[in-house]
Structure 1
Amino acid sequence: MMVWRVMKLLLWALFILYLACFANGFTPQDMYLIDCGSSSDTKVDDRTYLSDKSAAKYLSTPQDILGTTSSNSITSSEDAQLYKTARIFTGTSSYKFSISKSGRVWIRLYFFPFIYNNFNMNSASFSVSTQKNVLLGNFTPKDPTMKEFLVNVTSGELVITFAPSSASFAYVNALEVVSAPDSLITDDAVTFNPSGTFHGLVNYTLETVARVNMGGPLVTLKNDTLWRTWVNDGSFLVSPSFAVTNKSLIGSVKYPGGYATEDIAPPTVYGTCTKMNSSGDPNSKFNVTWQFNVELGFQYMVRLHFCDIVSDAADEIFFNVFINSFNVAPDFGPTVKVGLADAFYMDYVTPLANNNTVYVSIGPSTVSASPDAFLNGLEIMKLNNSLGSLSAAVSEPPPFRQGSKKNVGMIVGLSIGVPLALLVALIVFLMRRRKKQVRLGHTKTWIPISINGTASHTMGSKYSNGTTISTASNWSYRIPFAAVLEATNDFDESWVIGIGGFGKVYKGVLNDGTKVAVKRGNPRSQQGLSEFRTEIEMLSQFRHRHLVSLIGYCDEKNEMILIYEYMENGTVKSHLYGTDLPSLSWKQRLEICIGAARGLHYLHTGSTKAIIHRDVKSANILLDENFLAKVADFGLSKSGPEVDQTHVSTAVKGSFGYLDPEYFRRQQLTEKSDVYSFGVVLLEVLCARPVIDPSLPREMVNLAEWAMKWQKKGQLEQIIDPNLVGKIRPDSLRKYGETAEKCLADFGVDRPTMGDVLWNLEYALQLQEAVIQNDPEENSTNAIGELSPQVNNFHHADYTPSAAEMSHVDDLSGVSMSRVFSQLVKSEGR
């Protein structure tokens, strides 16, 4: 009897441990709640909002005016108290919050216009921004409203800035900054028109447009683990008579491992649904449709929540799911994906909205014997545009600010008193993970890559059905995992030098003393898998002294690891602004631009089809110990058009401020898109300032636009880096400015090739180093901004690489190990 009691106690302890280890509840690492304008703390749903006095330490500018209203009819919601006071800003003001862990953070802003003294908040107009994004532009709240944003904070500080419009003021009633689970937004989503996969969601800031509980009640923040509100879907139904509410089965909802959790959506959402009102009629042929208002010119993430509480085991339901007019999930069977009453979700990203409405519909499939369809929940979130803005009214985003260097700390384990209990919990976890993979029917895969059409060997891993490497490659490139561990001091967190979409990057030292940068893939990162494949494809084609080289790779122990040469002097960007590094001379800057241009020219012309980098920027041009420039980060690279084509049609990718406007408008990619981005880099190198800086006067925010105004006036010297004043020969600057202007032509056909650009930069360097006697360029009367006749008549056939350059081009007969390097030196990657 005593033994049995002991066994029961042990089993109970293990059960409690299991719940502790795998519970879905999320505890935010950072939480700031402020009741702006309030003279005392305010408690809402067991959360305490600090008064203005307590929160004064977060204001970076002098406090302005506290406002209050005596109205008792603001709103009947639980957070009504938050709307009764406000802080009014008569000038630009900021809140600064320390963020202890990089990752997703909720920003919730509460607004309610009332009249306080001479301030009529109904007439207020203002913008709200963070360091990287414009959240609201020329915003004038008219009703009690809460604006919710999900931002990815990559530095240790979040700054929220309120900027009044001209002759106006700004205000906010309450403010929240709360950590969110990184798993809340995965990196990939399904796209349509054209169909494919959208990569890189982790880099976007999102604004909540709609969060709807189909067929269920209002879900308030106290019933949601992340303090979200879900509204009923009735007001969004286009034809309410086509829909009916299913019986609520909240208690039946299950959360299978690897799919949804209560943090994704609570049981109140998954346990209710709206379905077709078919009344058993086998001839029912109609869709249930919901309509949502959106803003033109933005992409939207649509998250659909499903949990089959409608069918039974003997009668599975199949139906079609539409977003606008696109059937995004034909003949969709929820119970094929998971089991009955199992919660899961699917993410889709729309094309750029060309009207103000998004429609979501469900309808019958011919696969089912009886027509039916259902939807449990839905979320729509706006993605920031290529300029980093969530507002069409204010398109200029803040600059990327280079964060301070800091070690990234992580909690890597849970201290448990009973080793046996930890072992059992681990076994349970592995069994759940295996079960998830069996349900899926497959694991995450890298599609095998054939290199040069030769025979291949396959290296398997848990996340790989085979990454194929040609037998023509040198197997010495494969580095054992044990050697990687030794090189990185067992992936010492203090050795982290960058974090990107693929994973962390560590500084390392091989046993022969070679310094390396080690990029370790995160298995959860879908973007990482895609980038890995893209970079491997690039490795088969190129090797060049101005492209960062790969040293080796590791595909053991369920790892995806790439090892690169270490670039001692970091990014070009870090030598221009934002750090205390010494200023570069004009000759150094020209040589760096020339080196980068050579690398890009080689990409565009080094094979039968051009390779378009697609993310040319100063942060992706790295410098070795001798300040030799090398182009890096090929995760977004794309093969150029076929011989009989003029462009590649593809989704817009790149970094705002550098993005080709023609590519953005038409989604048509060519080598000239790289040329435009490089033109922006040329101006960044010359002026040593961010390409986008909203803290400056409006006409100066965009570097390319501002610099071109001075260039067209022939006064580019007025805006150059003060460290270069009096140190650039006028003819060298003139040639440089002409080249940059030509790169920034509105239409790609009017831009030079990278060969043209390279020729002009080399000539600008010659003009800087010596005055060439009797050179017609010395007395040229060409208009500012027009390239010289030599450049306009330049053709690739005329370009002959120097002997020095050719000596560094490696044999391409085998697998070339270069041209890949993603966010390896700074944590400022995409």
Structure 2
Amino acid sequence: MWDCREIWLFFCGLTILPLVCFSANFVPLDNYLIDCGASTDTAIDNRNFTADSFYKDFLSTQQDVLASTSLKSIASSSDSPLYATARIFTAPSKYTFPIKKRGRHWIRLYFFPFAYEKYDLSAANFAVSTQDYNLVSDFSVQKNHVMKEYSLDVNSDTLVINFAPSANSIAFVNAIEVVSVPDGLIVDNGFSLYPSGSYSGLLTKALETVFRVNMGGPSVSSGNDTLQRTWVADEKFLIQPNLATNFSNISAVKYVNGGPTANTAPPSVYGTLTRMNSAGDPRSNFNVTWQFDVEPQFQYLVRLHFCDIVSKGLNELYFNVYINSLLAAKDLDLSIVNNNVLATPFFKDLVTAPSASTKMLVSIGPSTVNNNYPDAILNGLEIMKMNNSASSFSSSTAPETGSSGSGSKKVGLIVGVSLGAFFAVVMVLVFFLLCRKRRRLEKEKQGHSKTWVPLSINDGTSHTIGSKYSTGTSGSAASNFGYRFPFVTVLEATNNFDESWVIGIGGFGKVYKGELNDGTKVAVKRGNPRSQQGLAEFRTEIEMLSQFRHRHLVSLIGYCDEKNEMILIYEYMEKGTLKSHLYGSGLPSLSWKERLEICIGAARGLHYLHTGYAKAVIHRDVKSANILLDDNLMAKVADFGLSKTGPEIDQTHVSTAVKGSFGYLDPEYFRRQQLTEKSDVYSFGVVLFEVLCARPVIDPTLPREMVNLAEWTMKWQKRGQLEQIIDPTLAGKIRPDSLRKFGETAEKCLADFGVDRPSMGDVLWNLEYALQLQEAVVQGDPEENSTNMIGELSPQLNNFDHEVSVSAAQFEASSLDDLSGVSMSRVFSQLVKSEGR
């Protein structure tokens, strides 16, 4: 029989055992730590790095070159003595490590360039690979130390690491780690951001650590992490640090059975966080956003670490998480996912789609699921690049294997011959198709009476930019329109298309910020040869913008068609797109007055397109991403690549293939393939509701009835309860009459049939009236409490005869650009009849 003391010790043991399990350090079965080029062992963070002379049997190299430098010379780059020595490879060389336990392993490679005798390590250029993966290609380290960390699934009894110098160069490495990774650190299933849904197969993926960040706390050194990882602080990644604040309570962290352990992330990560800096304002509505540099065309595994150490009770904190404006977690309640236990770690794995962008944005923001104080938190973040289809982490090459045996050479020869024959056939086929296409284009060109160069439309002459941009001169007919820019001028303006200058990516291609010689800031849209949009859209854009000049249409400054390029140069719009100010980017919320003025500006631009020329111009791609804002938040309609001239006088529509953006597309146009100005009106109605609700027009992560913004908002509008779904930042800030007028206007725009929709002139009238209702209640206005002015205009206006209406329309076409300071209600009071054009 046990006495009381033994029973007490038994229960204490049961209580302490889980904590010991959760905090015990992982002991890797494979644990190779090599200080390359060193003559003696080196102790780092209680770990012993062995001089690589001890691993001589592992190394195959033609020449032993062991380099060293003084610790003083590396002090500015790293305090680690590992960087004081290096092994230099003058020819392909490899390390072969015996693997005791198959499975996921870390490979950590340390590099620091210094000069040693005749070798300058900063000039080294080389590749590193394993038998399965290409780790780096054309790799060089110019100045500071670099540590590359990879996580690979090793399924053989050996792991081979190859170092292959480039021609007339060398390779080097300062230290190497090959260490077993705990089972379960990487799980097989995650969540795909686009397309949205579950993702499986992570266990088979090789990963490269790009960022490992501790939110709200200091850097965590490898000595303070059970798996010798380094976590950096998050301050330098915050786009707007003033929107964020830190919180720390490390002692509160509780690892529970079945959940993340200290091997997932240490308490110093889960016990600190960055949160919204709401500054005591219960109506705060903004996102905290971090920005990270990434390599395009790769998928990334993003692991988000959470631990609610701020809540005092359950179900207090709900928030949303976004990655590149895509919803990664909606209405996240950490107390629910952790079985009603606070301060318990939780992580979420997300897989991105390959992107052309060099930036990744991670944002947190408040949820509207309840009325609690707005808040959002993030404790830690890991961003890991996934290998591509060529089993490579480099976009330029497939895996390199260094020296190989005769068997692999034979296989390589067979593969090379096969691929050579295949590509020869492909090249012949491509050549045939290109010749055929060229003959077709030449026939089409002969069939045209005008050259495709847009500016020749004006006077039959192709113009080039004059003065400082080239030696060409410009004719008077093009003096106010875009000019043809030399390609060298475009290169100079964009710093050779510097990827860090990219400000947007669209269907046509990337958009770069640029600056001309005279200091003019411009936006440069460079056509992507692989884009579905091409020459037709390029030509249309220039033709349209060369004919129009209006303060609410983005101005075309020039274009370039040299070297098979399709480049458009616009005025630079400092504030970017309307869409970015509504959701997903973390920018401050717009006021209701600002939103109304932006909608009014965009409506003016569209109204001018529909009425300001001999034939109406239909934009065909009206959406919030194509409404740009200048430094004063003045709206300008942009992107005319899909635009089309409207029907002839004796026609009601233009029959054409359906083009546009999903979610904004006119359903009648989609069904009948008959395009009218009313198709733009429908799209603009969707924009109006998007402005009001500040959410994407299509969001597949929401419940079924909420996925389509237009359908969802129309249900609430018809109930007369539109105020229930507006942007929370606008709650209580919109006069009821202004909201009612705005909702009625948007509802009319979304009528099923085009004939039932208002003209853009009518829409403009009503938006200006909604603004007047917002700024001041109109005394004695009989429509004050029931304002549906679309189709209910005063008899006096409806009695204008046809001749007067035409004169007013002509006046609008020639003079509207100078009328922005005039009350547009007065101007458009004479343009409301549909027969006014």
What TM-score, normalized by structure 2, do the two folds share? 0.48
Higher helix proportion, which one?
2
Larger radius of gyration: 2
What TM-score, normalized by structure 1, do the two folds share? 0.48
Higher RCO, 1 vs 2 (CA within 8 Å, ≥6 residues apart): 1
